[in-house]
Amino acid sequence: GNSVTQMEGPVTLSEEAFLTINCTYTATGYPSLFWYVQYPGEGLQLLLKATKADDKGSNKGFEATYRKETTSFHLEKGSVQVSDSAVYFCALISLYNQGGKLIFGQGTELSVKP
Amino acid sequence: DTGVSQDPRHKITKRGQNVTFRCDPISEHNRLYWYRQTLGQGPEFLTYFQNEAQLEKSRLLSDRFSAERPKGSFSTLEIQRTEQGDSAMYLCASSRTSGTSNSGTDTQYFGPGTRLTVL
């Protein structure tokens, strides 16, 4: 079946450090891939997405590249800020599912210290 | 555009009681999704509607769960005879999907969730 695996958290970084959160997936065909972010006390927000192989999604300094050969969609940011502290979820939608349901990883908590 | 809203934000109930949650999607969004999120886990799909039709239900949705979307606008999720294992955050999301678009490219907008605690 379709699934998403993320690196375990929590991840603790100092401000301006480089961030990588690993995400790999298992899916039939070529799914669309997403990163959602959940700030404390708020709902899930779409951070970025990529819908085909080699696409790069980017937003707010974050980026992720759809790698078909490694079935990965790792999230990166060159210089994190305290305000980036949140839980990050990698997710996919299988193109064989007409309903478009999202399949999420377990989430990775990021804590950025000043 | 006021975003997806959910009511109540928190619900505490005793085991065996029935509860009902409401979700108001973004206006003109024809798809509405329900997910459940337990502590330390990612959201899991429960069911979705396109307009008023419920088109898919997860095996997670036992017979005690029922969802409706009358008139294709707001939706309700009812849990009957609640159990402690039902304690979770219930999330609603909506999207606008045309008949010819690829569902994988449509953005789902999430509400703040309803946190259910069953004592």
Reported as a single tens digit per residue, the pLDDT across B41-88 is 999 999 999 999 999 999 888 899 999 999 889 999 999 999 999 999
Q: Enumerate the residues of chain A whose CB falls inside 8 A of the CB of residue B33.
A: 101-102
Q: Do B110 and A102 touch (CB under 8 A)?
A: no
What is the model's pLDDT at position A95? 73
Residue A22 distance to chain B (closest CA, Å): 15
Query: What's CA A31's distance to the chain center, in Å?
Result: 14
Least CB–CB distance from A95: residue in B104, B109, B111: B104
Q: Indicate if the pLDDT at residue B10 is higher than 60.
A: yes
Q: Cis link prior to A114 (omega < 30° from 0)?
A: no
3-class state of residue A21 by DSSP: strand
Q: Which residue is closest to B107 within chain A, CA to CA?
A: A46
The answer, for B109 touching chain A at a CB cutoff of 8 Å, is yes
Q: What percent of chain B has pLDDT over 70?
A: 93
Residues 48-87 of A with CB under 8 A from B: 49, 51
Go through chain A and tell me how many residues it has.
114
Q: Do B102 and A95 touch (CB under 8 A)?
A: yes
Could you identify the residue written with the tokens 């298992």? A26
Q: Which residue is closest to A47 within chain B, CA to CA?
A: B107
Least CB–CB distance from A99: residue in B4, B55, B112: B55
Q: Do A101 and B48 touch (CB under 8 A)?
A: yes
Over residues A86-101, mean pLDDT? 86
Could you identify the residue written with the tokens 């997405």? A49
Q: Do A49 and B48 touch (CB under 8 A)?
A: no
- Read off the tokens for B94: 């909506």
What is the model's pLDDT at position B61? 86
Q: Indicate if the pLDDT at residue A98 is higher than 80.
A: no
Residue environment code for B88-101, b if the CB has 16+ CB neighbours within 10 A, otherwise e: bbbbbbbbebeeee
Q: Indicate if the pLDDT at residue A99 is higher than 80.
A: no
Q: In degrees rounded to 5, what are phi and psi of residue B84?
A: -60, -30
Over residues A79-102, mean pLDDT? 89
Neighbours of A63 (CB within 10 A): 18
- Read off the tokens for A27: 């899916």
